[in-house]
Amino acid sequence: MAHRPARHCRTLPHLLVPSAFALVMAQLGSATLLAAPGAAFAQAADSRSFQIPAGPLEDALNRFGQEAGLVLVFPPELMAGRTSPGLQGRHGARDGLALLLAGSGIRALQQPNGVYVFQAQPAAATLSLAEIRVQARRAASGTTEGTGSYTNQITSIASKTDQSFREIPQSVSVVTRQLLDDRKVVDVEQALALTPGVIVADNSGRYFSRGFQITSMQMDGGAPLALGAYTYQPQQEMAFYDRVEVMRGASGLLGGVGDPGGIINLVRKKPLAQPQIDVTLSAGSWSNLRSEIDATGPLNAERSVRGRAVLAYQDADSYFDYIGIEKPSLYGVLEADLTPDTLLTVGASYGKVKQTGDYGGLPRFTDGRSLGLPGNTTFSNPWSFFHYKNQEVFAQLAQRFDNHWQLKFNASHTQTDQNRLWSSLSGAVNAQTLAGPLWRGGALDSSNTQDVVDLHLSGPFSALGRKHELLLGLDWQRVRSHWQNLSFADSARVGGNVFDIQPWTPQFGQYNLALSERYAPWGQEQVGGYGVLRLNPTDRLHVIAGARVSRYEFTQTISNILDTAGTTTPRSAKSFEESAKVTPYGGVIYDLDAHWSAYVSYSSIFKPQALSMSGPLPGTPLDPIKGRSYEAGVKGELMDGKLNATFSIFNVERTGTAVLDTRYTATPSLWGAACCYLPQGKVTSQGFDVELGGQIAAGWQIAAGYTFNETRDKTENKVFSSITPRHLFKLATAYTLPGEWSRWRVGGTGRIQSAQFVSGTITGTNGTSQAYDFTQPGHAVWDLMAQYQIDPRWSLSLNVNNVLDKRYYQTVGTVFNGNMQGLPRNAMLTLRGKF
Cα atoms in the 13 Å half-sphere on the side-chain side of 632: 1
The amino acid at 393: V
> What is the second-level CATH architecture of the domain 47-120?
3-Layer(bab) Sandwich (3.55)
pLDDT in the model for residue 151 = 94
Cα–Cα dist 125/109, whole Å: 13
3-state secondary structure of 591: strand
Q: Which residues pair with 718 in a beta bridge?
A: 713
Mean pLDDT of 360-381: 91
Helix, strand, or coil (residue 347): strand
pLDDT tens, position by position, 219-252? 999 999 998 666 788 888 999 999 999 999 999 9
Rounded CA gap, 703 and 601, in Å? Answer: 24
Cis check: omega of the bond before 328, within 30 degrees of 0: no
Q: Write out the H or E segment, with its range, that includes residue 77.
A: helix 76-79
Q: C-alpha dihedral over 528, 480, 355, 332, to 10 degrees?
A: -60
Per the document, the length of the chain is: 835
Res 141: pLDDT: 62
Domain ranges of the chain: 47-120, 154-268, 276-834
User: Any alpha helices (H) in 550-653, and if so which ranges?
Assistant: none
pLDDT digits (tens, 9 = 90+) for 649-693: 999 999 999 888 888 877 766 566 778 899 989 999 999 999 999
- State the architecture of 154-268 in CATH terms: Beta Complex (2.170)
Q: Are 215 and 263 in contact (CB under 8 A)?
A: no
Residue 254 CB coordination number (10 Å): 30
Q: What pLDDT does 668 receive?
A: 64
Q: Identify the CA nearest to 44 among candidates 108, 144, 116, 100.
A: 116
Average pLDDT over residues 150-179: 90
For residues 134, 140, 145, 146, the Cα torsion angle rounded to the nearest 10 degrees is 40
Radius of gyration of the chain (CA): 28
Contact 641, 165 (CB under 8 A): no
Question: For residue 314, what are the CA distances in angstroms to 324, 327, 328, 394, 641?
Answer: 11, 5, 6, 25, 37
The overall average pLDDT reported for the chain is 86
- DSSP-based three-state secondary structure for 683: strand
> Across residues 795-820, what is the average pLDDT?
94
User: Average pLDDT for residues 393-419, to the nearest whole number?
Assistant: 95
d(CA 456, CA 156): 13
Closest CA to 330 of 354, 314, 318, 306: 314
CA separation for the pair 284, 828 (Å, rounded): 4
Q: What pLDDT is stored for residue 273 in this prediction?
A: 87
Give pLDDT, residue 8. Answer: 34
Q: Partners of 461 in the beta sheet?
A: 468
Instruction: Classify 207 as helix, strand or coil.
Output: strand
- The least confident of 71-80, 299-308, 369-378, 720-729 is 71-80
Give percent helix, percent strand, percent coil of the chain, each to the nearest 5.
10, 55, 35
The secondary structure of residue 819, as a DSSP letter, is: B
According to DSSP, the residues that pair with 612 across neighbouring strands are 674
Contact of 19 with 301, CB cutoff 8 Å: no
What is the model's pLDDT at position 54? Answer: 77
* pLDDT tops 90 at residue 53: no
Residue 446 β-bridge partners: 418, 483
**Predicted confidence band at 49 (pLDDT cuts at 50, 70, 90)?**
low
Asked if residues 498 and 486 have their Cβ atoms less than 8 Å apart, the reply is: no
Give yes or no for residue 321 having a pLDDT over 50.
yes
pLDDT at 532: 95
Residue 131 has pLDDT above 60, yes or no: no
Instruction: Identify the helix (H) or strand (E) that includes residue 190.
Output: helix 188-193
- For residue 544, pLDDT over 50 is answered with yes
Average pLDDT over residues 277-283: 97
Q: Does residue 59 surpass a pLDDT of 60?
A: yes
Higher pLDDT, 173 or 204: 173
Whether 773 and 758 have beta carbons less than 8 Å apart is answered as yes
Shortest CA distance to 391 belongs to which of 411, 376, 412? 412
712: nearest Cα among 681, 689, 753, 690: 681
Cβ(404)–Cβ(412) below 8 Å = no
- What SS3 class is residue 514? helix
What would the mean pLDDT of 635-640 be, rounded to a whole number? 92
Say what angle helices 57-68 and 93-100 make with each other, to 10 degrees: 170
User: Per DSSP, what are the bridge partners of residue 468?
Assistant: 461
CA nearest 449: which of 399, 487, 492, 412? 412
Predicted confidence at residue 467, as pLDDT, reads: 94
- Please enumerate in sequence order all residues whose Cβ is within 8 A of that of 635, keeping only pairs 6 or more positions apart, or say none: 165, 166, 596, 597, 599, 644, 645, 646, 647
pLDDT band at 75 (very low <50, low <70, confident <90, very high): confident
What pLDDT, on the 0 to 100 scale, is given for residue 27?
35
Q: How many degrees, rounded to 5, is the angle at CA 670 between CA 667 and CA 675?
A: 30
> Coil, helix or strand for 22?
helix
pTM, whole model, 2 decimals?
Answer: 0.82
Question: How far apart are alpha carbons 639 and 594 in whole angstroms?
Answer: 12
Contact 414, 449 (CB under 8 A): yes
The DSSP H or E segment spanning 107 is strand 106-110
pLDDT bin (cut points 50, 70, 90) of residue 90 is low
Q: How confident is the model at residue 347 (pLDDT cuts 50, 70, 90)?
A: very high
Distance CA(606)–CA(579), nearest Å, equals 12
Query: What is the spatial distance between Cα 576 and Cα 583, in angstroms, rounded to a whole number?
Result: 20
Residues 115, 11: contact at Cβ < 8 Å?
Answer: no
What whole-number distance in Å separates Cα of residue 234 and Cα of residue 245? 15
CATH number of 276-834, picked from 3.40.630.10, 3.40.190.10, 2.30.40.10, 2.40.170.20: 2.40.170.20
Residue 88 has pLDDT above 80, yes or no: no
Q: How confident is the model at residue 435 (pLDDT cuts 50, 70, 90)?
A: very high
| pLDDT-derived band at 115, boundaries 50, 70, 90 | confident
State the pLDDT at residue 571: 81
pLDDT score for 47: 59
Instruction: Give the whole-number percent of the chain exceeding pLDDT 70.
Output: 89
The DSSP code for 136 is -
The tens digit of pLDDT for each residue in 750-779 reads 999 999 999 888 876 666 788 889 999 999
